[in-house]
Amino acid sequence: MDVGTALLWLSAALLALPGACGDCQAPPRFVFAEPSGPTDASYPVGKMLRYRCRPGYTGDMGKSPYVTCLPNSTWGSDPDFCIGKLCVQPEIPNGDFHFSTNLQFGATISFTCKAGYRLVGKPTAQCILSGNDVEWDSTPYCALIPCQPPPGIVNGQLSAVHTEYTFGVAVTYSCNKGFSLVGNATIHCTMDDNLNGIWSGPAPECKEVRCEIPEVENGKNLNSFATEYTYGEKVSFECAPGHALVGAHTVTCDADSAWKPSLPVCDPRYCGPPLRIPSAELTGAASDSSLAGTKLSYWCQPGFTTESGKSLEVTCLLDRSWSAGSKLCTRQQCAAPTIRNGIVNEDNFLFGATVTFSCNAEYELKGSSSAKCVAAGDGVEWDVALPSCERQRSDVLCGQPPSIRNGVHNGTRGTAFPQGSVVVYSCNDGFTLAGGSTIQCLATAQDRGSWSTPSPECRDGASSIIVGLLPLLLAMLVMNF
């Protein structure tokens, strides 16, 4: 091979290499766009090619339809500069459509119908190309769900007859004279899970229904005293006094000519022996068994009463117990006694209580020193006349009270003390009072005054201890012998 031939061969090989005449290879391919004209195998940097949108797509406003050869030998462009065309929103009377993305070319939507309608056609549609535009490949419609004609009944008829029965239509049945309608009088056209038309329930029946006259022993019919009862009629009962109703209060005449639930029973209820009420006595005789509603009267014993008087009443209840109530016999109270210039030494004036009386200083008790609250007729009163306190004679006087060793008294201010005067003694520190702490001026038989005896003593504390120990020591000596 000569030099010229070799040079020609090398030139051909270099021309065959990619990018030998430019920096970018063939322009890119897009789903949504294509070059406007013929293309070359390579292009120099900076070369711009115009693209046009493919069928079903349209240019996106604001984005350039050009692709450019870049210095790194790649093509650059705005992303998705062509977008899918929009399909028109489909119209589906009595139904609706649903989508998850958009309504652009290539999108898929689904259809549903309102209650009472079912879909006729494909449940989905796709936005497809049609010539230079886009449209839905199919559109279903919603048809009203039909029902078969309603069933007929024996001894009865429909209230109205239609040529078509569609969703929501209702029909009503009635029976011939002498027959009772058993079941729902009205049914309506509805649908099942498969969107087929069905009736809401079976047709009713027309039957001859006659229930016997309901009779309950010791019971009373509260509704009526009809001579016959037909289907659906109700009767209510109540029991005679002293009886409890066991079972249903109201029963209904059923389709099988029987009362449902079964007729109740009026059960007699009895209480046991009469109650024993404290401080009360039963008036009249009573047996060991009393029918509910029986009332017994009691009379409170003398000295006792109730809030409303002397008598009370209990009733035998349906639970077989006596109603004791809150009215029990309580003690009556005597009028509170008062004594002028005296003291009543008790604060309980109820029936049976005893009170004592005392007079103030310089006064003397005249009458009984005590009184008892006793029964009198329907009430209570004191068993004696209340005493009185009369001033003591002033001509009976006592002289100076006697003094005691190691102690003092409070009668040092006077030299003459009237009858009834009281003097109080106390001991000096370290001494203990032996005997009563007071003495009183008393009248003698000669109407003279003298102090009561004996006078108290003030003893040494140690002596008191020794005196107290002497009996113990003597007892120990006797035990040793």
> In this structure, are 426 and 457 located in the same domain?
yes
User: What pLDDT is stored for residue 6 in this prediction?
Assistant: 37
The domain boundary, picked from 310, 331, 352, lies at: 331
Range from 140-154, 208-222, 416-430 carrying the lowest mean pLDDT: 416-430
> In this structure, are 135 and 194 located in the same domain?
no
Residue 5 lies in a domain: no
Query: Helix count (H) and strand count (E) of the chain?
Result: 2, 47
Q: Report whether pLDDT(69) > 70.
A: yes
| pLDDT over 90, % of the chain | 62
> In this structure, are 80 and 32 located in the same domain?
yes
- What's the chain's average pLDDT? 86
User: What pLDDT is stored for residue 204 in this prediction?
Assistant: 94
> In this structure, are 292 and 258 located in the same domain?
no
Let me know: does 30 contact 10? Beta carbons within 8 Å.
Answer: no
> In this structure, are 241 and 292 located in the same domain?
no
Domain enclosing residue 367, as ranges: 342-391
CB neighbourhood size of 167 (10 A): 19
Residue 13 lies in a domain: no
> In this structure, are 239 and 275 located in the same domain?
no
Let me know: does 304 contact 333? Beta carbons within 8 Å.
Answer: no
Total domains present in the chain: 7
The domain boundary, picked from 207, 235, 252, lies at: 207
Residue 481 lies in a domain: no
Report the distance separating Cα 185 and Cα 69, nearest Å.
83
Of 396 and 333, the structure prediction assigns the larger pLDDT to 333
Specify the residue for token string 């002028």.
340
> In this structure, are 30 and 72 located in the same domain?
yes
CB neighbourhood size of 321 (10 A): 15
User: What pLDDT is stored for residue 284 in this prediction?
Assistant: 86
pLDDT grade, residue 396 (50/70/90)? confident
Q: Report whether pLDDT(375) > 70.
A: yes
> In this structure, are 353 and 304 located in the same domain?
no
Max Cα-Cα span within the chain:
194
Residue 6 lies in a domain: no
Report the distance separating Cα 69 and Cα 389, nearest Å.
141
What's the Cα-to-Cα distance from 138 to each of 102, 145, 321, 430, 457, rounded to whole Å? 17, 22, 84, 129, 135
* CA-based torsion, 345, 350, 351, 352: positive or negative: negative
CATH number, residue 304: 2.10.70.10
Range from 100-104, 268-272, 373-377, 408-412 carrying the lowest mean pLDDT: 408-412
Residue 69 lies in a domain: yes
Residue 471 lies in a domain: no
Residue 7 lies in a domain: no
> In this structure, are 72 and 105 located in the same domain?
no
Q: Report whether pLDDT(87) > 70.
A: yes
